[in-house]
């Protein structure tokens, strides 16, 4: 066996397994060192928000000159993988509206203007994904999977032509109901999702009022979220609670203005 191994692996001295295990151990230790060096999230202090901001996770940058402008870096435009959160104060605990507008410019074109860009300009385009909704007052958001644990949200996801927003609810145990009573799925795997036209300068809003969460576009109510509960909550209503307007950002380059009215 040793002779055969010498033919296959010149210089083989019978210590192949030992050396392999040694190298494997060294690689494991090296990987652990990298993990220790990279895992500095616990050491980073959450930034102090300004203006209407109640909580800001360290992934999100608030503009120094404009307290309503927020940015987050990333690279995944295909689906929502949370990377950051912003919680805002509200003027009233029973009724408030969160307004979101994506920053305009060459890197955030829509429709025909996007189609006319070069391939390089299209690849550097930002603003594809965002969640907006409400978080419970007792929640300390982490910037990671908050949509499933902290409250109720609408997910905005642009189609690849940047002409329409596909909108679903999170948590996904919900349906969306428009003002005419038509229902749309809250499941990201289903086809019957609610859609809105997308355009530059658009104001997308989330309104909490009378125990309901509504999605507005250009100031008009379009759909409300209807979440399923085991508890005795009237259909279309949210459980009684102390809620705050919230934006969850994705691992996608994003720049947006947000304010609460």
Domain range summary for the chain, segments of one domain joined by +: 13-43, 53-260
pLDDT tens by residue, 154-193: 999 999 999 999 999 999 888 999 999 999 998 888 888 9
Res 24: pLDDT:
41
3-class DSSP string for the chain? CHHHHHHHCCCCCCCHHHHHHHHHHHHHHHHHHHHHHHCCCCCCCCCCCCCCEEEECCCCEECCCCCCEEEECCCCCCCCCEEEEEEECCCCCCEEEEEEEECCCCCCCCHHHHHCCCHHHHHCCCCCEEEEEEEECCCCCCCCCHHHCCEEEEEEEECCCCCEEEEEEECCCEEEEECCCCEEECCCCCCCCEEEECCCCCCEEEEEECCEEEEEECCEEEEEEEECCCCCCCCCCCCCCCEEEEEEEECCCEEEEEEEC
The CATH number given to 53-260 is: 2.60.120.920
- Whole-prediction pTM: 0.81
Res 142: pLDDT:
92
């Amino acid at each position: 066996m040793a002779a055969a191994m010498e033919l296959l692996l010149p210089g083989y001295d019978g210590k192949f397994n030992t050396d392999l295990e040694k190298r494997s151990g060294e690689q494991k230790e090296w990987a652990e060192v990298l993990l220790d060096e990279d895992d500095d999230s616990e050491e980073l202090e959450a930034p102090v928000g300004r203006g209407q901001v109640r909580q800001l996770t360290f992934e999100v940058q608030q503009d120094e000159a404009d307290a309503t402008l927020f940015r987050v870096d990333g690279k995944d435009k295909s689906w929502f993988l949370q990377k950051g959160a912003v919680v805002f104060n509200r003027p009233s605990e029973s009724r408030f509206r969160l307004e979101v507008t994506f920053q305009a410019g060459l890197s955030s074109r829509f429709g025909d203007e996007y189609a006319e860009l070069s391939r390089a300009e299209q690849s550097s385009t930002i603003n594809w994904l965002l969640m907006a909704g409400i978080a419970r007052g007792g929640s300390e958001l982490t910037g990671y999977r908050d949509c499933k644990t902290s409250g109720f949200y609408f997910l905005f996801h642009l189609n690849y032509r940047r002409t329409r927003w596909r909108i679903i609810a999170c948590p996904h145990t919900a349906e969306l109901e428009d003002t005419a009573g038509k229902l749309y799925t809250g499941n990201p795997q289903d086809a019957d999702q609610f859609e809105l036209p997308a355009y530059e300068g658009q104001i997308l809003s989330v309104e909490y009022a009378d125990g309901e969460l509504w999605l507005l576009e250009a100031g008009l109510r379009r759909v409300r979220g209807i979440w399923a509960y085991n508890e005795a909550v009237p259909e279309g209503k949210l459980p009684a609670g102390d809620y705050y307007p919230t934006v969850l950002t994705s691992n996608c380059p994003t720049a947006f203005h947000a304010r609460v009215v």
